[in-house]
Amino acid sequence: MKITRITIGRLHNLGNYEHIRYELTAEIPDGESPGTALIGMERILEALDPKCPFPSMEEIGREQFRLDEKRKLDDEEFERLYRGTREEYTARMQEGIDENRAKRKAWDARHAKARKLLEDLGGAANWKDAKLDWEDGDYL
């Protein structure tokens, strides 16, 4: 038996009854390993996961804004509302924000690299929705 083509797909649940499906089909040339092709395809699909496990940069920006607002509180109000000293609390919060920002940037880079790899393999095309070019007066 000779494997000449592999198709692999992955369904991603986006929540709220929505999903997205990615499917790749690869032609296996003579002398190439189907197992190696499959591993590569699985890695691409894994990296293309549309649901990021980390907060968006907008959410991280909102966290930073909230922390900056807390820094403006006077000491008495701060101690009444939050546990620990101002320095301990803000350092802990800033560390979490910085960690989320770094994780999100790494995820974005991995996602972009997977899309570029897919494009380099000839599996992606630029799609343009005609509805995006509509102008208000064009329908008459």
In order along the chain (140 residues), what is the average pLDDT of each group of 10 residues?
Answer: 87 86 88 86 85 86 92 84 83 92 90 82 54 48
User: Amino acid identity, residue 44?
Assistant: I
The pLDDT value given to residue 140: 39
Our CA dihedral for 12, 15, 18, 20, rounded to 10 degrees, sits at -20
The pLDDT value given to residue 139: 39
CA distance 73 to 50: 39
**Coil/strand/helix, residue 19:** strand
The pLDDT value given to residue 61: 92
